[in-house]
Amino acid sequence: MHRTFLTLLISIFALCANSQTYVGIKTGYTMSDISFKPVVNTRFLFAHSFDIGLVFKHYNLTYIGFQAEAYIVNRGYRQPIDLAELGDTLYKRVNTYLEIPMFMQVRYNLKIFTIHANVGPYIAYLLKAREGDNSTEKFVMQNINLNILRDNRIDYGLLGGIGISTNFKWGSIYAEGRIGYGFGDLFKHTYSGMPKESKAIFQGVNMGYLYRFKSK
């Protein structure tokens, strides 16, 4: 019994000794849309600014680890106002979220770089929203007064991505592509005139720098 306990204890310490913890910063660019029901003719939003955030990653095993982020991200959609009269005049809405993804990460180390895959849930809080159109040739945006009866400030869903990273003495640099799908609705369907569903669809690219804490 004592020998079994001692073996287990040594195994735990061995895992901790070989663990890898990283913290860092990231930036990215997101392309997004909203899936409405009943169907509305929308177009992808190419956000006008870059996203930015913090990253935490931990590995206790060789191939499987955990990654979490706190990320300021811009998502939304564009919608033609009236194609018959105004041509390519578009309405645009940009939602700024604090997004927190939590991933299970699988990686495979090659000689020069590492390939990794992420999958997991996210939760996001709507910080602010802006809207405008390009009827004067340039988009004129203004803040939206959020209505708690109409606007959902909480979004949640699933994210997945594939990327590569390279390690240096001073840290690690990585790049990744992602896709995501929201389960929450942007608008509450119980509010008058709102659609039954308004779910986020988005994809993007991001890159970052990670500092590795050496195990004692």
Give the containing element (helix H, strand E) for 17: helix 2-17
pLDDT in tens, 113-162: 999 999 999 999 999 999 998 888 788 899 999 999 999 999 999 999 99
45-46 vs 20-37, strand pairing mode: antiparallel
Contacts of 13 (CB under 8 A, 6+ apart): none
Q: Cα(48)–Cα(31) distance, rounded to whole angstroms?
A: 10
pTM of the model: 0.85
pLDDT in tens, 43-61: 999 877 899 999 999 998 8
Domain ranges for the chain: 20-213
CA distance 54 to 68: 9
Where does 20-213 sit in CATH, by number? 2.40.160.20
